[in-house]
Structure 1
């Protein structure tokens, strides 16, 4: 049976030895490197000219932490599996994990069986994370989907009761305003000048019986939420 090669990076010797022992206790894996920080991981891979199947990286390490190391590894060796280890599951830590495209996230408070199951799931190509992290990601995804839906032209037209006095360009500008775009961004996107955008906005304000951009944004917020 061919074993998957693993590099373990953990600043504290006791945890590093424990993690190594847990991994080597599994038939599927073989630890080829025990290192103290992310820079050592990068150097090890370059000097040894090996590409481990999996890197277990503690988030909090000196010189180069697990997050920075994960980012560099994914940029250079995108096929290497990256699992981050941490004692924290706060939202700030979760956001950082998602930003580096890690393959898994394991809390140090996890039980041994959970730790081993996580590694096996990751071998099968699954992303594994604590329940709190999954719930956080789900909330963020719901929020993004809701924002996308509420910024759709159809949704906006519905809440303006499909007014017939707006032309296609005016609807486009209202939609882009809802997305928070500036006049310059709108102009560049539509291929028109900023002055033309301002002219369209003046017409939109007059049709809606409002005075300025602030009132339009407030109206969009109140109507679309």
Structure 2
């Protein structure tokens, strides 16, 4: 049986192009396309639930972040592959926190798109170079020792981590923490070293794994 896919994109040409591309892959089929998150919810209410949702990040009324969160809360077994022109870490982090199983740039090549679908189908996730398989597989909070003490984090570093696990820019974090951008750079370098990560996205994954985030 083919893996069923739904496309959510308010740009009709993009939706049609994606649908045509998917139909070329033997093991996948597009069962419908919708132009908004609200229309997707209506279709789900009718029982039209796929295995994978190809989700545009920037849409009117209900953006991709909101749709991903709704799917996470109501249909956690449905995998979400976010599609965007935005390669900023803040956008990736926000989609990740809202339950996306993958994040792909719209300018990618067809073979990477196919690889993303295959990875989500077989492994449950796809993040290319942004996130390693090891970190994704260990998203469940670690039990036992206090992770704050384990990493050797101080209160300011913990505050920085929690703010960085949002869509705030580093300059906005500096404003909220009432410090200079250079001080925030220092927090980032220290946290990366203590948590043994090399990117903001990697830090977010490790923070989620170790239950360092404040309740939403």
The TM-score, its normalising length taken from structure 2, stands at 0.62
User: For residues 118 and 147 of structure 1, what CA distance do their matches in structure 2 show?
Assistant: 37
**Structure possessing the higher radius of gyration over alpha carbons:** 1
Aligned residues: 147
User: For residues 24 and 36 of structure 1, what CA distance do their matches in structure 2 show?
Assistant: 19
User: For residues 97 and 150 of structure 2, what CA distance do their matches in structure 1 show?
Assistant: 21
User: For residues 149 and 49 of structure 2, what CA distance do their matches in structure 1 show?
Assistant: 41
Q: How does 1:120-199 map to 2 (within 5 A)?
A: 120-131=118-129, 133-134=130-131, 148-151=150-153, 178-179=154-155
Q: RMSD over aligned Cα, in angstroms?
A: 2.6
- 1:30, distance to aligned residue in structure 2 (A): 1.3
Tell me, what secondary structure is at the counterpart of 2:71?
helix
The TM-score, its normalising length taken from structure 1, stands at 0.59
- The residue number in structure 2 matching 1:42 is 41
User: For residues 20 and 4 of structure 2, what CA distance do their matches in structure 1 show?
Assistant: 14
User: For residues 148 and 97 of structure 1, what CA distance do their matches in structure 2 show?
Assistant: 27
Whether the 8 Å CA contact 1:107–1:130 is kept in 2: the answer is no
Residue in structure 1 matching 2:56, options 55, 58, 65: 58
User: For residues 63 and 148 of structure 1, what CA distance do their matches in structure 2 show?
Assistant: 43
Tell me, what secondary structure is at the counterpart of 1:84?
strand
Tell me, what secondary structure is at the counterpart of 1:60?
coil
- 1:16, distance to aligned residue in structure 2 (A): 0.6
Per-residue deviation, residues 44-94 of structure 1 (Å, max 9, x unmatched): 1112x1221111000011111111111101111110111110001112102
Give structure 1 stretches of 5+ with no counterpart.
152-177, 181-220
Flag the structure with more relative contact order, 1 or 2, with Cα contacts below 8 A and sequence separation at least 6. Answer: 2
Give structure 2 stretches of 5+ with no counterpart.
140-146, 157-189, 195-216
